[in-house]
Amino acid sequence: MRYALLAAAALLTACGQSEPPPPLPETTVQAVAAPWFICDAINAPVLLVFERDENTAHVAQYDKPNGALIQRTDYQIGESDGAAGSIYTPLSQNNVEAGHVRQINSGMLETPGAAYTEVYSSVRLGERELSCRWLPRTRLMGFTGRRTIVVSEDGDGDLLYHSYDFSAAANAQPIDIAENGRTTTFSLEVRDGTEQTDANGARYQFQADAETQIAVVAGRDGRGRVDVTRHGPNPAQSEDLIAYVEGSGPE
C-alpha cells in the first residue's frame, strides 16, 4: 500500500538536446489513520472495520470469501457502561438503539499483561451478534482481500504468524485458546519470527519453509502489506493490508 513515483531521465541524442527535462514533482503520501478496532467475526463469514470520529462510528463490512466491501454504515456512539468486567458501548441510528460493542476489561483476563490490544469481544448490530477474533499478545492484526493476518507472541516472547483464509471462513468454527483467546483454526502457522524496526515502520519476517519467506510490513504512514518470497529477494506474491491495528507490545 505504498506508492512511489519513478521518473527516468530521457535519453540524450545527437539532435541538439543539451539537458534532460526537469524531474517530475514528488508526490506526498498521506498517512492512513488506524481504525478504532477490527472485528474479524469467528461465528460468521464477515469482517467489520470500525472507525471513530468523535461520537460517530463509521463501520465498513467486508464479505468472505472474496474480501469485498459490501456495506458502509454510520452509527451514533452513546455513553459506555461497565458491568461485570465488561464495557458496553451503545450504538444507535436516528436516536433508535441499533446495537452495541462489548469490550472486556483486561483486568478480568487470565493474564492481564497479554492484552497488547484492546479486547473487543463482540459486536451486536440489529439482531446479529458477532464474536470477534482476539489473540493474546497481538502485535498486529489486519486483513487483505484474501485472508486475516495475525502476528503475535507466545508466552516466551517468540513471534508467531497466523493466517486465516477467507475461502475457509464458511466452515470455520470458533475455538478457545489459552489466556482467553478466541479464534478459529488457522490456515497457516509459522513460528520463530524476527522483527526489524526503523524510521519507516516495522517488518516481521518468518521462514515458512526452506524456500519460502513471509514478511508482514507495517508502515509509519498506516499502510502495510504481506510479501511472500521464494528463490530470491523479489516477492512472488504481495497483498496489501486493507486495514490493520497494532498492539502496544510488552511493557
Closest CA to 184 of 225, 132, 235, 232: 132
Residue 68 lies in a domain: yes
Residue 225 pairs in a beta bridge with 217, 240
207/204 Cα distance (integer angstroms) = 10
Strand, coil or helix: 168: helix
153/117 Cα distance (integer angstroms) = 12
173/169 Cα distance (integer angstroms) = 8
Residue 107 lies in a domain: yes
Strand, coil or helix: 208: coil
According to the model, what pLDDT value does residue 170 have?
87
Strand, coil or helix: 113: helix
Q: Is 51 left (phi over 0), alpha (psi -120 to 50) or beta?
A: beta
Residue 153 lies in a domain: yes
Residue 1 lies in a domain: no
According to the model, what pLDDT value does residue 33 have?
80
- Cell numbers standing for residue 179: 489466556
According to the model, what pLDDT value does residue 12 have?
28
- What is the domain extent for residue 235? 37-246
- AA identity, residue 194: T
Residue 67 lies in a domain: yes
Q: In the chain, how many domains are there?
A: 1
Contact in structure between 56 and 91 (CB atoms under 8 Å)? no
Residue 43 lies in a domain: yes
Residue 16 lies in a domain: no
pLDDT tens, N- to C-terminus, the chain (251 residues): 333 333 333 322 333 434 444 443 333 445 668 999 999 999 999 999 999 999 999 999 999 988 999 999 999 999 999 988 999 999 999 999 999 999 999 999 999 999 999 999 999 999 999 999 999 999 999 999 999 999 999 999 999 999 999 999 988 889 999 999 999 999 999 999 999 999 999 999 999 999 999 999 999 999 999 999 998 777 789 999 999 999 987 65
How far does the chain reach from its first CA to its final CA, in angstroms? Answer: 30
Residue 28 lies in a domain: no
